[in-house]
Amino acid sequence: MPHSEFFFPGLLFLILGIVIIAVAYWPERWTIGWKPFVTAVWPVERLPLRENTTPQETDITAGVIVLPREITWPTLIDPAAGPLDEAERARVIEGLGIVGDPWSATVLAKAFDEEENELRVAAIEALGVSEGPIVAPTLERAYASYVIAERYAAIDGASRNANVPLLERALRDTDGTVALAAAYGLHRAKRDDLIESGLEGRTDARAAEIRRILPMLV
């Protein structure tokens, strides 16, 4: 056989090549526990960055849904009442404050829960000149607000209703106008002793303002 000395080595290399090709292209689903070897990685610092980092529409997976606040308190007055705009609701709140009876206070407490901003403050102010068992707890909830105007309206109402415990709490309010209103309310309730004990040992600016202005108001 010609070149017989190259036949067997050539055959061996042919078989080895077939085996290597078969391993390289062997489907993964036909093997058990086979995992590809990691032969190279792409360094993170070499990965291209997007030139525009502004969020694209495709980056947003879920939007924030803002549901409108439902206003239902006017139906306590008239179950058939249709939607009222802010100006109309403001007039109704003012009228309820003029009436000021326990039934009106119940409606105003509902308005306080549902309204926002100026109408919420208006509901608190109307509650402050109303009567009924719901007034005091609603004013206490209003005083827990982060909004200064709401806390001030609550303390003004507490002053009109001689709600001494709430006034005593508000004497240490972080806002000077609220603290001064509380001091004036305690004076109206003839509890100057609580003002003195509340200011005793205090050297902060709010306490100094109360000591300076309160005598001008009484």
Structural domains in the chain plus CATH codes: 84-217 (1.25.10.10)
Specify whether the CB–CB gap between 102 and 131 falls below 8 A: yes
Quick one: pLDDT at residue 37? 46
Specify whether the CB–CB gap between 128 and 161 falls below 8 A: yes
Quick one: pLDDT at residue 68? 63
Does the pTM of the predicted model rise above 0.75?
Answer: no
Quick one: pLDDT at residue 167? 97
What's the rounded Cα separation, in Å, for the pair 108 and 162?
19
| Mean pLDDT, 10 residues at a time, the chain of 218 residues | 54 56 50 49 49 51 61 91 91 96 96 96 97 96 96 96 95 95 95 93 91 88
Quick one: pLDDT at residue 44? 46
Query: Phi and psi (nearest 5°) for 214?
Result: -55, -40
Buried b (16+ CB within 10 A) or exposed e, 45-76: eeeeeeeeeeeeeeeeeeeeeeeeeebebbee
What's the rounded Cα separation, in Å, for the pair 206 and 211?
9
Specify whether the CB–CB gap between 34 and 28 falls below 8 A: yes
Quick one: pLDDT at residue 80? 86
Closest CA to 133 of 173, 106, 114: 106
Specify whether the CB–CB gap between 167 and 136 falls below 8 A: no
Helical H runs in the chain?
7-25, 86-99, 102-114, 117-128, 135-143, 148-160, 164-170, 176-188, 192-199, 205-217
Closest CA to 152 of 131, 183, 192, 107: 183
Q: Which residue has the tokens 């947003």?
A: 60
Quick one: pLDDT at residue 207? 92
Write the burial class of residue 180 (CB in 10 Å: 0-12 exposed, 13-18 middle, 19+ buried).
buried
Quick one: pLDDT at residue 15? 63
| Alpha-carbon dihedral angle through residues 200, 206, 210, 213, given to the nearest 10 degrees | 150
